[in-house]
Structure 1
Amino acid sequence: MRGDEEWGSVPGLVRSAARRYADVEAVVEGRTRVTYAELGERVERATAACVASGVAPGDRVAIWAPNSLDWMVAALGAVSAGAVLVPLNTRFKGGEAADVLRRSGARLLFVTGTFLGTSYVASLRRALADGPGLPALEQVVVLSDDAPADYRSWKDFLAGGDGVDEAEVRRRAASVRGSWPSDIVFTSGTTGRPKGAVITHAQTLRAYAIWSELAGLRQGDRYLIVNPFFHTFGYKAGVIACLMRGATMIPQPVFDVDTVLANIAAERVSVLPGPPTLHQSLLDHPSRTAHDLSALRLVVTGAAVVPLTLVERLRGELGVETVLTAYGLSEASGVVTMCRRGDPPSVIASTSGRAIPGTEVRVADPTGAPLPAGTPGEVLVRGFHVMRGYYQDPVATAEVLDPEGWLRTGDVGVLDEAGNLRITDRLKDMFIVGGFNAYPAEIEQLLGLHPDVLDVAVVGVPDPRLGEVAKAYVVRRPGSVTTADDLIAWSRREMANYKVPREVEFVGELPRNASGKVVKGRLRGPGRAADAV
């Protein structure tokens, strides 16, 4: 078994990619096209600027910006200087961003100027004016050509590193050890305050070497990265995996189906990971057939609900050679199980595949005792990729990591006889109907089979007789006139009575975070983001 140091470090990966794939196109962003050799040079310049700015090994450096070439250069430059990267969710408000900056003790922040009509600089300033301040934060660098007087522009920041000796830059990068923390990924916070999972360089590189191999990512692939970089799926299954394999990265800052279609056709995109909703939107777009999507060969998706029809349509209508599902979480470096190429569509649609090499997966009862195949319980994970803990939060760490190294995921799942894992829900989302455990994701999977249901989310709501019952929020397909009574009657024919929704509310869209997860707290509460129609 290779030790942490043998897996190397992220800066070592950047230098290796610049050398091995020197003339290969690394990044395409609009009219900007950068080779791997040029990307390596840009990262070295950003590393020099970090060194000149006083960034020391172990310092936390945050980045609050959408997917872009500058995001990659800034982040990889900071990590190459020995810093621990703290990516911030682009959907955070100023106060939420300030909270993560405060708790991580970030010394340097890279921030976008304006994104989706919001000035992030102004949002941060308001949060700091209203809050307790950020005593650890010494510098803010705006990823644009200009910045307020007390902040620095990206151009000015980079120029500050021009006086740093090239040999010093390379020494700093070479000093980074595989056992060092590489990033602190704060959880999405759909069920509470975000917590920062500490992941090392070696964990990242080993996990995504496996991911790339199982997915079949290869040199020459052109990878459209729509998944946000602040999320493991975007940064590690995207940027890190591409650096490993010499694939071309095409960052897209926000999901827009028209832009996705245009990018796939114009750039001959061959790889498109993302949540099921992304691929469903692509398939259902009225102008899809006007675009040449023939280069698309690899799709990796993951969620509790992946309709079989989605897998079949991707293969049949788009001719996608490989469609895989996977399961992961930030606390386990983003990947735990994956389907394998060659698995039948039924396995790909109904499970998240088997444990990746070096990983153990157990379905357990509340005491942690393993349950037999076919029995639902909490998913426990143990392996090389499990986080070192939550940053400066030993109490929260002890709640999810036991002394034997098992991580309590908080997810409910079932293992089949072949070891394939099917996620049925979050423990916190499960509700009890007259003594029966009801799993929203299972009900959603069944409702998704209805021909008029485009998207669906199920939550438990109080019931005076049964304790709780299911309520479904449904997005109808365009032109559908299906009523709530129709869906309830259909459900009574298709599922056990305790699973049947007692209420159906039709909505224009479901509230999702930037990672594509439905924010069910906003459906349960009075301030729902979904508009009833």
Structure 2
Amino acid sequence: MNKTVVESLQEAANLVPNTVFLYEGNQNFTFQDMDQLSDTLASSLYSLGLKQGDHIAINALNQSEWLLAFFAAAKLGITVVTLNVRYRDNEIEYMVNNADVKAIISVDALGDFNYVSFYQRLEDRLPSVEHYIFIGDNSRFTGSYSFQQLMERKKELMIATPTITPEEVLLMIYTSGTTGKPKGTMITHKSILASAKAQVDHFQVTDNDLAIGALPFNHVGGITCTVMVALVSRSKVALVPSFHPKQVLNTIEQYQATILGGVPTMYYMLIGQEEVSSYDVSSLRLCIVGGSNVEPGLADDMVRVFPTAHLVNLYGLSETSGACILSNFEDSVERIGESIGVIIGDFEARVEKDNHFDDSPGEVGELMIRGDCVAKGYYNMEDATQDTFTEDGWLCTGDMVSIEEGGYVYFKGRKKEMYVTGGFNVFPVEIENVLTKHPKVALAAGIGVPDKWMGEIGRYYIVPASKAKPTAEELTDYCLQHVSDYKVPKEFIFVEEVPMTPAGKIQKAKLKEAVVKGEWSSNGEKRV
């Protein structure tokens, strides 16, 4: 799509002005509402001296204010840096300073945490920030602004609309940091709309659809795969401020939602609700699982709980601005559990092995993606950009895959997650998929750890499915029935949880750090 997000919103406001775009609690917003209200906010932000080329950060829940700020910034040619409400001192200081943020729009409080006093305490450590704008009724510190007051200002003389091109940076989303320091991915108007349009076409999303907006907007799963998909297709989104299983199930029933997107952790929590069968979820036609292919045990449970919905995988990265690989409607549950899907739109997928492309069936190599969905690079990180984005347009995803007959992509794990035991390559995701089929296992996360004789061995962190946790002997015997003996884990660590990113991905880097620091002993008891 050779247009901007601003043009897409204005086009929808002109063609279907009274069509509802967002449901939020007991109110709703049409496309015209979002266009006009974001005009008002854009005018107020401009009056504060914010202009094209500046960066502002949004630190809020999935709420209308988030999206109003997003569209207002887009109209001014301002880049939005997305933050997560769970971030604290270190994350905020690093990202805000790294991104040269000029203004922060934040909720004023969440639970017992007061963001007004939080940012007031951090003020001296965030030298680029000139303006703080708070959503809510709490008192503010001197010099900060109320979001509501900005929305109530009489619309001042609107700026001469800046010339914004599809290639300009719209969003800066920091990578979730599963393998290292977060990098600010620069997503353009063109790239985010390209991904959204490809998803709309592949899943045949129409104006009759209504999606649950529970995935966080600071991640492409929320802003691209949910909101931008709705904008492109003129469909609807029911906002869920933050993920709570009962609230999601209530929202599905209340609005007769047709599309539900989430990461595996979310689906485990939904299925785990004792009264899940009492909710009417028969309106769902799509259950989209992002992050990795659906583990077979989870896939079986999802088919049971959401019988009317097509179960599909979604593969995408911040660097692809959203989805780039999706399952087909006709894919079986077995296929869903094995393959992440096929390339969508006019994007390209290749396998790189030993510095050249090798798409032979069964060959495992790094997944490379090319197309309009690919982001512009990393902000202020030239070396990292050159390592990840090639001159001829390919994105090095860092994910190991094979591409089989029919173009189906099989995920093998992160490039840096692969370990070598006794000269054999092992991809943890393969073993994790086996382990989670065991009835006593809820979640499994594997890493390679140093070993004197084998070079590396597999250590797998296991979250039991119930109080009756499995034994290491049980899991060893189970794995021996399903995979080669060299792939069978040598260590099992039983834990109540594993470190997760805000987007719901397992943080393997933190598990590896724990090994280096000696925080976990081989019997699974945390060392003091």
What range is the shorter-chain TM-score in? over 0.9
1:324 aligns with 2:324: no
SS at match of 1:299: strand
Is the aligned partner of 1:81 residue 2:67? no
Task: Quote the residue 1:144 is aligned against.
Answer: 136
Q: Which residue of 2 aligns with 1:215?
A: 203
- C-alpha offsets along residues 15-48 of structure 1, whole Å, 9 cap, x if unaligned? 2222333223322222222233222222221122
Percent sequence identity over aligned pairs: 27
- On the 8 A contact 2:313/2:336 being kept in 1, the answer is yes
Rounded Cα–Cα distance in structure 2 between residues aligned with 1:265 and 1:214: 25
SS at 1:494 equivalent: coil
Q: Could you tell me which residue of structure 1 aligns to residue 85 of structure 2?
A: 90
The C-alpha deviation readout for 1:429-465, integer Å capped at 9, x for no partner, is 1111111111111110111121221111111122222
How many angstroms does 1:316 deviate by? 4.2
Paired residues of 1:62 and 1:101 also in contact (CA < 8 A): yes
Shift in Å, 1:413: 1.0
**Counterpart in the other structure of 1:158:** 151
Given the superposition, is the C-alpha separation of residues 122 and 510 from structure 1 closer, same or farther in structure 2, using an over 3 Å criterion? same
Q: Deviations over 1:455-513 (max 9, x none)?
A: 11111122222121111111222253422221122222221112111121222222211
Once residues 532 and 245 of structure 1 are traced to their aligned partners in structure 2, the CA distance between those partners, rounded to angstroms, is 51
8 Å CA contact 1:49, 1:159 repeated in 2:
no
Q: Given the alignment, which residue of 214, 232, 235 partners 2:220?
A: 232
8 Å CA contact retained: 1:365, 1:377: yes
Q: How far did 1:309 drift?
A: 4.1
Q: Which residue of 2 aligns with 1:3?
A: none
Name which of 433, 445, 449 aligns with 1:457.
445
Distance 2:298 2:477 in 1: 25
Q: Is the 8 A contact 2:448 2:459 kept in 1?
A: yes
Which of 351, 375, 395 is residue 383 of structure 2 equivalent to? 395
**Of 138-147 and 74-83, the range deviating more from structure 2:** 138-147
Structure 1 pair 227–495 and aligned structure 2 pair: CA distance change class (3 A): same
- Decide which moves more: 37-46 or 230-239: 37-46
Return closer, same or farther for 1:293/1:433 CA change in 2, 3 Å cut-off.
Answer: same
Q: Specify the SS of the correspondent of 1:300.
A: strand
Contact 2:367-2:397 at 8 Å conserved across structures: yes
Structure 2 length as normaliser, TM-score?
A: 0.93
SS at match of 2:260: coil
User: Which residue identity is paired with 1:41?
Assistant: Q
Instruction: Kindly provide the CA deviation profile for residues 96-141 of structure 1, in whole angstroms up to 9, marking residues without a partner as x.
Output: 2122111211222111112253223333333344x4x42x322111
**How many residues are paired up?**
519
Match of 1:413, SS state, is strand
8 Å Cα contact 1:95/1:124 also seen in 2: no
CA distance in 1, matches of 2:11, 2:414: 40
Is the aligned partner of 1:26 residue 2:21? Answer: yes
**Residue type matched to 1:406 in 2?**
W
* Structure 1 Cα separation of the partners of residues 466 and 325 of structure 2: 35
2:171 to 177, 183, 199: 183
Given that 1:226 and 1:251 are in contact with CA atoms closer than 8 Å, whether structure 2 keeps it comes out as yes
* 1:47 aligned counterpart, secondary structure: helix
Give the corresponding residue for 2:263: 275
Alpha-carbon distance between aligned partners in 2 of 1:508 and 1:413, rounded to the nearest angstrom: 30
**Partner residue of 2:120?**
125
Calculate the aligned-residue CA RMSD, in Å. 2.2
In 2, Cα distance between equivalents of 1:163 and 1:42: 10
The residue type equivalent to 1:410 in the other structure is G
User: Residues of 1 paired with 2:179 and 2:91: CA distance?
Assistant: 15
1-structure distance, mates of 2:312, 2:74: 30
Separation in 1, partners of 2:480, 2:300: 27
Structure 1 residue 305 displacement after superposition: 4.1
Partner of residue 68, structure 1:
63
Whether the 8 Å CA contact 1:23–1:37 is kept in 2: the answer is: yes
Cα pair 1:94 1:124 within 8 Å, conserved? no
CA change 1:461–1:83 in 2 (3 A) is same
1:346 to partner: Cα distance: 2.5
Could you tell me whether the CA contact under 8 Å between 2:293 and 2:336 is conserved in 1? no
CA deviation profile, 1:280-314 (whole Å, cap 9, x unmatched): 32223211112111112211112334123433443
1:112 and 2:104 aligned: no
Aligned residue type for 2:140: A
Deviation at 1:345, TM superposition (A): 2.6
Report the equivalent of 2:279. 291
Distance 2:85 2:403 in 1: 35
Aligned to 2:54: 59
Rounded to whole Å, the distance in 2 between the matches of 1:103 and 1:355 is 33
Letter in 1 for 2:107: T
Q: Within 1, Cα distance between the matches of 2:508 and 2:109? A: 28
Q: Does 1:360 align with 2:342?
A: no
Residue range with higher mean Cα deviation, 286-295 or 109-118:
109-118
Contact 1:326–1:339 (Cα < 8 Å) also in 2: yes
Code of the aligned partner of 1:11: V
* Paired AA for residue 67 in structure 1: N
1:295-306 equivalence runs, <5 A:
295-306=283-294
CA contact 1:49–1:157 (8 Å) conserved in 2: yes
For 1:331, the aligned partner's letter is E
What's the counterpart of residue 342 of structure 1?
A: 330
Look up the SS of the partner of 1:7 in the other structure: coil
Q: 2: CA distance between counterparts of 1:96 and 1:335? A: 26
Aligned partners of 2:396 and 2:369: how far apart in 1? 7
Aligned to 1:37: 32
Write the distance in 2 (CA, Å) between the matches of 1:43 and 1:320.
37
Structure 2: which 5+ residue stretches go unaligned?
Answer: none
Structure 2 contact 99–379 (Cα < 8 Å) conserved: yes
CA distance in 1, matches of 2:104, 2:18: 32
Give the counterpart of 1:242 among 215, 230, 235: 230
* 1:385 CA displacement: 1.8
Select which of 187, 191, 194 maps to 1:203: 191
Question: Following the alignment from structure 2 to structure 1, what is the Cα–Cα distance between the partners of residues 60 and 144?
Answer: 16
